[in-house]
């Protein structure tokens, strides 16, 4: 008898989707040294999320656990990532958010250090800005926020909430740390993540070339 | 009874060729965030082209559709890429063009931004210039045009036509956007695409090193 | 009758673990031209280590041999790497060290040249500093030592011993040569190796961007 | 009845060895746009070499042909690479040369342009200098020659011969073109090729960082 408070077939489906995508991200080198974490919404009260400290290149079903929208483990003894709160605050705030991806690529980390003083990365004039849901032209600009890093997740979450009060956004950087990107489902979150990574790479290269 | 205005076995063959090649280009990172589009000539009135918005790393047969030389969908409810007109203008103008490839690599995007002001990238003194059909020596030069970006495909197509009136060429860049390259068949278009990508990479590296 | 002074099943297990991990490191380009060497502790008196000069991308079981903690071959006619002493000094000194990895990535080699004068690479303010066992916050710093290169392993080993007398550390660079990293087991040593590589890559990129 | 002037089983063996290695080099991006060529000695009068213009990422047995030490095709209607003479001059001059590899990586091409004026690349202080047969320490230096490019192979071959009269060497660059590297067998030639590529990459990165 299945007395779990969520649909276990749905969890299995989500776990497969996370594993498939995270292995690609790990192969690209965006999850160095067991860093990074990933989640998918299960239902209006539960989220599937990667267990803390696992090697993202070798992810298996047992590396995915369930938390509620306050980030508390549900029906498991696994420990979720320390940064679980940064995932669940998005699911709790926006009913339409279905997927949150957090990676640590070299471009993301370097850009976060370089633009921490400015507090954001200005992205303008790229065709790929159309990859972000809501944009239909390259004649636009995005300010990708860069937050100061902290080991206190409540401090980080409060900073993110303050930003979300002001504007619509699909991601942010944390200084010296990496990128959070999200979307309504895995495909949209991946598209946003890939677009941020690409555009940060372009900005870094242009800065080397244009000085 | 096959009442399609094109040979459906030929479409199947073209789709396979596109899928095989585009997966390689996607694996190389040249099609970020569902961008880029690809086509092969079916016959003197039809072209096989990728459906808009599909993930180029996971392309399947259903992601390939048929358009006529005006870019109108043929016997399908799929929507072709917004940039279909930039493909079909080449097929309509040159009976010998058999394949058009449009990618968004980082080198292509960065070079397009860097050289947009100049209006072209000057490529000279490379052995690989021999990769372009018609060149038999490294003692030559190519001016790869860089067009301003636009969401109006008729504006872009008119710019391309004006260039084609002046000279023979195998590709062009669009600012902040990416590269178009073509050839008489897939192998030649790939060779031209790969050579442009390589030479743009060399120019960017040399610029970093020689300042 | 198995009269070997070590457990041959344990050797087989260690060899498999080394092969699996080294192939990944070779595929990443961190072991150019048959360079680099790798070891795992077998027991309190023996170490499994790669045979000298083998292609690390094609490693097989016969490429793994046993040495004692003085670096002498045990029950084999194979010749261990010239640098075996730099592995065994760690196993002999620290009972808890279970794995030593030595690679030659481009970032490692370039950083070693660039920071040889300073004698160390300063790593500070990165979330990934938490990847090193003992660190629980990004608000810390690591000085990764850079030793002068030498073909005399006793000279190198004495330099390493002098450093180990002063502080806890998980790795060091040798000028123009590469990185040594270690841990209590393969997973920890890989995590340390991957974190050093990533952070060196960040430092090099930032230096190009911030001048 | 086998009336071929060479051992056809030996050719089959050589072809397999070339295909396996060249696919790896193609996957690394060192053979863009059907460029590059590769050979192995069959016997004291014959060499197996890649046919002109084939895609190096998709090499099959039919893409390997036989030439004599003057570069003339033997028992085949295939056309050898235009640069065949640069291979055969090494086999004809040195009985111990068993393999010649010619690639066009981005690092090789960029370094050839950057150092063409100097006429050589100075490589010093790297542990990986030990990868070149004859070197047993990092305390040495190699001058990798950079020759002016030419479409006349006799001109290029004469330049190479003049250099070989003066010194022992395992490779050279051609300006805007790529690298030739060789060895007594495939493994040694690959080790030399990989070491040159790695060291050129280090030199380019250091130049960006140290200015």
Mean pLDDT of C183-192: 97
Contacting A with CB below 8 Å, chain B residues are: 32-35, 55, 104, 106, 109-110, 113-114, 149, 151, 174-178, 204, 207-208
pLDDT tens-digit readout, A60-79 = 999 999 999 999 999 999 98
Pair type for strands D141-147 and B171-174: unpaired
> How many Å apart are CA C38 and CA C48, to the nearest integer?
8
Number of Cβ within 10 Å of residue C118's Cβ equals: 10
Domains of chain D: 8-209 (3.40.225.10)
Number of Cβ within 10 Å of residue C172's Cβ equals: 23
CA of B104: which chain A residue's CA is closest? A128
Instruction: Give chain B's end-to-end CA distance (angstroms, integer).
Output: 66
Q: What is the pLDDT of residue B1?
A: 47
Residue B175, min C-alpha distance to chain A (Å):
8
**Whose CA is closest to B86, among B150, B32, B26?**
B150
Q: What is the pLDDT of residue B100?
A: 98
Instruction: Provide the pLDDT confidence category of residue D169 given band limits of 50, 70 and 90.
Output: very high
Pair type for strands A99-103 and D171-174: unpaired
Q: What is the pLDDT of residue C2?
A: 60
Q: Which chains touch C (3 or more CB pairs under 8 A)?
A: A, D
Among left, alpha and beta (phi > 0; psi -120 to 50; other), residue B4 is beta
> How many Å apart are CA A198 and CA B176, to the nearest integer?
12
Instruction: Provide the pLDDT confidence category of residue A1 given band limits of 50, 70 and 90.
Output: very low
> How many Å apart are CA A65 and CA A112, to the nearest integer?
29
Instruction: Confirm if B159 and B147 have CB atoms less than 8 A apart.
Output: yes
Number of Cβ within 10 Å of residue A165's Cβ equals: 8
Q: What is the pLDDT of residue C82?
A: 83
> How many Å apart are CA C178 and CA C113, to the nearest integer?
10
Q: What is the pLDDT of residue B2?
A: 60
**Whose CA is closest to A32, among C109, C126, B105, C40?**
C126
Mutate to test the interface with B, among A24, A123, A127, A201 (most CBs of B within 10 A): A127
Element (H, E) at B1: none
Q: What is the pLDDT of residue A3?
A: 85
* Nearest-10 Cα torsion for B115, B116, B117, B119: 90
Instruction: Confirm if A139 and B151 have CB atoms less than 8 A apart.
Output: yes
Question: How many alpha carbons lie under 13 Å from residue A161 in its C-beta half-sphere?
Answer: 13
Instruction: Confirm if C49 and C37 have CB atoms less than 8 A apart.
Output: yes
pLDDT tens-digit readout, A165-193 = 999 999 999 999 999 999 999 999 999 99
Instruction: Give, as one character, the DSSP assignment of residue B62.
Output: G
CA angle A172, A175, A177 (to 5 degrees): 85
A104 labelled binding-site residue: yes
**Do C32 and D198 lie within an 8 Å CB cutoff?**
yes
Higher pLDDT pick, A41 / A3: A41
Instruction: Confirm if A182 and A100 have CB atoms less than 8 A apart.
Output: yes
* Complex ipTM tops 0.85: yes
**Whose CA is closest to C198, among C101, C114, C125, C126?**
C126
Instruction: Confirm if B127 and D178 have CB atoms less than 8 A apart.
Output: yes
Residues of C in contact with D206 (CB under 8 A): 110, 113-114
Residues of C in contact with D210 (CB under 8 A): 114
Pair type for strands D64-68 and D171-174: unpaired
Mean pLDDT of D142-161: 96
Residues of C in contact with D128 (CB under 8 A): 32-33, 35, 104, 109
Tokens in use for A164? 């979300």
Number of Cβ within 10 Å of residue C125's Cβ equals: 15
Tokens in use for D72? 């003339």
- Statement: residue D137 has pLDDT above 70: yes
Pair type for strands D171-174 and D141-147: parallel
Element (H, E) at A64: strand A64-68
D15 phi, psi to nearest 5 deg:
-60, -45
**Whose CA is closest to B160, among B135, B177, B185?**
B177
Q: In chain B, pLDDT over 90 holds for what percent of residues? A: 88
Task: Count Cβ atoms within 10 A of the Cβ of residue C7 and give its class: 0-12 exposed, 13-18 middle, 19 or more buried.
Answer: middle
> How many Å apart are CA A175 and CA A109, to the nearest integer?
7
A147 phi, psi to nearest 5 deg:
-95, 150
- Statement: residue C1 has pLDDT above 70: no
Question: How many alpha carbons lie under 13 Å from residue B175 in its C-beta half-sphere?
Answer: 20
A145 phi, psi to nearest 5 deg:
-70, 145
Task: Return mean pLDDT, chain A.
Answer: 95
Instruction: Give, as one character, the DSSP assignment of residue C185.
Output: S
In the sheet with B64-68, reading across from the earlier edge strand, the strands are B64-68, B46-50, B37-41, B99-103, B178-183, B171-174, B141-147, B120-124
- Which residue bears the tokens 């080397």? A208
Identify each DSSP E strand in chain C by its residue range: 37-41, 46-50, 64-68, 99-103, 120-124, 141-147, 171-174, 178-183
Radius of gyration of chain A (CA): 17
pTM given for the model? 0.96
Instruction: Give, as one character, the DSSP assignment of residue B179.
Output: E
Instruction: Provide the pLDDT confidence category of residue A2 given band limits of 50, 70 and 90.
Output: low
- Statement: residue B4 has pLDDT above 70: yes
pLDDT tens-digit readout, B78-125 = 988 889 999 999 999 999 999 999 999 999 999 999 999 999 999 999
Q: Which chains touch D (3 or more CB pairs under 8 A)?
A: B, C
> How many Å apart are CA D192 and CA D182, to the nearest integer?
7
> How many Å apart are CA D43 and CA D40, to the nearest integer?
9
> Alpha helix (H) ranges present in B84-185?
84-93, 106-114, 153-166
Instruction: Confirm if B17 and B40 have CB atoms less than 8 A apart.
Output: yes
Instruction: Confirm if C83 and C37 have CB atoms less than 8 A apart.
Output: yes
> DSSP 3-state assignment of C99?
strand
pLDDT tens-digit readout, C124-164 = 999 999 999 999 888 899 999 999 999 999 999 999 999 99
Residue B34, min C-alpha distance to chain A (Å):
7
Mean pLDDT of C55-68: 93
Cα dist. C204→A178, A189, C200 in Å?
17, 30, 6
């Amino acid at each position: 008898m299945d007395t779990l408070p969520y649909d276990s077939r749905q969890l299995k489906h989500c776990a497969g989707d996370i594993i498939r995508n995270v292995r690609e991200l790990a192969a690209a080198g965006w999850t160095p040294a067991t860093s990074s974490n990933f989640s998918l919404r299960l239902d209006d009260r539960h989220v599937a999320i990667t267990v803390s400290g696992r090697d993202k290149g070798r992810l298996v079903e047992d590396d995915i656990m369930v938390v509620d929208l306050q980030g508390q483990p549900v029906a498991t003894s696994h420990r979720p990532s320390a940064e679980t709160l940064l995932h669940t605050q998005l699911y709790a705030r926006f009913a339409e958010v279905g997927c949150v991806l957090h990676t640590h690529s070299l471009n993301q980390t370097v850009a976060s250090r370089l633009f921490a003083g400015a507090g954001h990365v200005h992205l303008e004039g790229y065709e790929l800005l159309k990859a972000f849901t809501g944009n239909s032209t390259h004649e636009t600009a995005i300010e990708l926020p860069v937050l100061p890093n902290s080991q206190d997740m409540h401090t980080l979450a409060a900073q993110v909430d303050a930003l979300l009060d002001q504007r619509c956004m699909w991601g942010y950087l944390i200084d010296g740390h990496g990128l959070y990107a999200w979307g309504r489902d895995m495909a949209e979150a991946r598209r946003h993540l890939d677009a941020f990574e690409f555009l940060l790479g372009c900005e870094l290269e242009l800065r080397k070339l244009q000085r």
